Structure 1
């Protein structure tokens, strides 16, 4: 009897447990369903576009809290009026005849097509900066490659006025040129700062006419990326020291100023250096000719219309262009000599001739500068002035020698000196 009662109790409790479980599941499902319904309602309500509209608007322009007279703005304003666009005009041959089936013919139907005229058209545009005003004249510095090949030059002032310009002088080795214009409309003249005092990371502005005068007086901001880069400049491959910056410099900026935050010109932008070196468009890498070099060159151009530099009176080739066999059999160089320039000819009565240099001598050092190629030799030589002396180190028949060069001869660099030759 007791066993029957105990079995009944066990079944009763089992039923209670089962009922409880079902009740919990049903209750949880109902609660979950209710919760999902509430959440769905909230999502629909929050994403539904409200009815009606605010026809009165209500948005307004607030007072500009930015500093409109910051350091960069002040620097730009102080120089902007001195920055110009430079227009290179060149002759274009044009026939006066009419276009026929087989080309140009005269308008009267004859076969005489010799009638033609030369018309000046814009060949290229660049930038420049007015740095001097003297009496009725003002002077503009720009790049040599901006004015190269011109038959006429024009300058567009910051106020949009176009004036004619004369070429005072140009230097292909440093890619600099000086123009003269009428000073009647010139109100602002830029000043030069000491480029030896600049430091990497320093803020700078580049001003000019990127892509032409349509975008004249465009200003871009960056920093000095490097103070002293060595690149090949001009058309003769002469190595020169330039400033590297990440300020945006594009075609048309050539000749424009690179300025510090005091508004001083610390360099002249030269896209030619960037493109010649890289061979393609590179973002964030631009170059400028240091102001100290600029001042030295433009002062000579104003005074003489040309740059006078020492000349050795030789023709040469880079040692790297000579085969290893010829270096051993012809030049008889020791294996430790791998860089330098080989003299291929010596002009009679020249500086090199007077010093005793001969054909097949290999120059490895000039003064304290190691000579690795023709560009480095010219760069080292151009540090001297006519009338000074320099020590040259060279190899002949495998033996090292030294000689003293008395730099009494000169080579004139003018706007027409653009041929690329390994002569000096």
Structure 2
């Protein structure tokens, strides 16, 4: 066994051999070797990793460029941007011009229908101040231009449209207004004729034939309901009934003075339509709109004066300014309105006679009285024409006869047929 000093030991180690390593140093060197080995492996495989990462980057960049291309193109000169609204579904719109028989009829007749304004005098003040008289609009209605004669155009309307007027004003389809003059009126048939300058009149109505109308036939009402703000309104309906008889109170005393002969229609007729046109599908004037039943429980019940009944009145008013009717001097009632008991016991009609007109009263010194007519005679025939109702009688008397004409009629008197002859006189003479 040898003993060395510390210096000897160091010298010996440096000259002859590697210094002896402690276990700790060996462990540290081993760890360092392993770390170096790991770094070398990573470096040897790094080329592939870097290649893969680069490839992914290229792909992502290409995608970004592709996505950005539309925006870049739209920003280049000469390009347009397509808005997102262009991608919305388009709405298909078809413009089809529809023409019906109603449209054709309205085109033909509507320009002949005018508005009529009734202007009346009104007195204001009094008692404390001096009364003053002014004029103001009292109402409005409709009318139909039916004739041009030289510098005048003639218009038919209702009597109640022009009644009490101090001035009359007519409004044409184009808005032109004309002063109008009253030609004549007839309270019994509710018809009137007025005239205006023909300067601005371009259309006149064509008269049709109301006798050939059929129940259920389409008709069109043209007028100005509720005033001129609804000028030229059109409503459609059908002929609901023919030869209707509507009771009319002419003087407002609550008693029926007249049975107005009318056409019934469900075409809407409202205040302001009065005097307007009722036309068929040919655009022909077949009636003058006159009235409606205004009750909460009633709907679509309007009335029009048949043009065949109106024409003789229009013609007479145009010529003389008034309606001079021939008269027989009797009061009338329809047999159908008489209870069956009185038909048998009082009138003593044969069973086969179910229609006719009962004479309820005879005016003294009248044509009927002079011809020998008696109360409760039942008229069944006039000049060879069958008479079933008072409307039939008035049609024959007013449409086919005039003052001074003779008339032959057959009546049932207490069950026997009697023939009477009379000469008609003016109603003003009774």
Q: Bin the TM-score by the shorter chain.
A: 0.5 to 0.7
Matched-pair contact (CA < 8 Å) for 1:129–1:190 = yes
Change (3 A) 1:140 1:281: farther
Q: For 2:377, which of 356, 363, 385 is the aligned residue?
A: 363
Aligned to 2:97: 67
Give the drift of 1:296: 2.5
Change (3 A) 1:233 1:382: farther
- Taking only aligned residues, the RMSD between alpha carbons, in angstroms, comes to 3.7
- 1:212 and 1:288 mapped to 2: Cα distance? 19
Aligned to 2:194: 179
- 2:391 and 2:308 mapped to 1: Cα distance? 21
Q: For 1:140, which of 145, 155, 164 is the aligned residue?
A: 155
Ranges of 4+ aligned residues in structure 1 off by more than 4 Å: 54-62, 278-281, 314-323, 334-339, 374-381, 398-401
- 1:60 and 1:317 mapped to 2: Cα distance? 71
Change (3 A) 1:60 1:347: farther
Aligned to 1:393: 411
Q: For 1:264, which of 265, 279, 284 is the aligned residue?
A: 284
Change (3 A) 1:118 1:265: same
Task: Map 1:126-205 onto structure 2 (within 5 A).
Answer: 126-205=141-220
Is 1:247 equivalent to 2:267 in the alignment?
yes
Matched-pair contact (CA < 8 Å) for 1:366–1:377 = no
Matched-pair contact (CA < 8 Å) for 2:347–2:376 = no
Give the drift of 1:221: 1.9
- 1:154 and 1:202 mapped to 2: Cα distance? 34
TM-score, length of structure 2 as denominator length: 0.65
Q: For 2:111, which of 55, 68, 81 is the aligned residue?
A: 81
Matched-pair contact (CA < 8 Å) for 1:205–1:222 = yes
- 2:89 and 2:314 mapped to 1: Cα distance? 56
Q: For 1:295, which of 303, 306, 311 is the aligned residue?
A: 311
Q: Count how many residue pairs are aligned between Structure 1 and Structure 2.
A: 330
Task: Map 1:18-417 onto structure 2 (within 5 A).
Answer: 62-95=92-125, 105-106=128-129, 115-232=130-247, 235=250, 237-271=257-291, 274-275=292-293, 282-314=298-330, 333=346, 340-343=358-361, 346-348=363-365, 350-357=366-373, 361-365=375-379, 367=381, 368-370=386-388, 381-382=397-398, 384-386=400-402, 387-391=405-409, 393=411, 395=413, 402-411=418-427
- TM-superposition CA deviations, 1:234-275 (whole Å, max 9, x none): 73644454322222211111111111222211211111xx33
Give the drift of 1:55: 7.5
Q: Which runs of 5+ in 2 are unaligned?
A: 1-83, 251-255
- 2:197 and 2:368 mapped to 1: Cα distance? 45
- 2:116 and 2:142 mapped to 1: Cα distance? 5
Matched-pair contact (CA < 8 Å) for 1:85–1:213 = yes
Change (3 A) 1:57 1:73: farther
- TM-superposition CA deviations, 1:123-158 (whole Å, max 9, x none): 221111111111110011111121122222111111
- 1:258 and 1:388 mapped to 2: Cα distance? 35
- 1:94 and 1:314 mapped to 2: Cα distance? 45
- 1:263 and 1:194 mapped to 2: Cα distance? 12
- TM-superposition CA deviations, 1:200-239 (whole Å, max 9, x none): 3332221100111110101112222334433345736444
TM-score, length of structure 1 as denominator length: 0.66
- 1:380 and 1:319 mapped to 2: Cα distance? 18
Aligned to 2:78: none
- 1:242 and 1:315 mapped to 2: Cα distance? 20
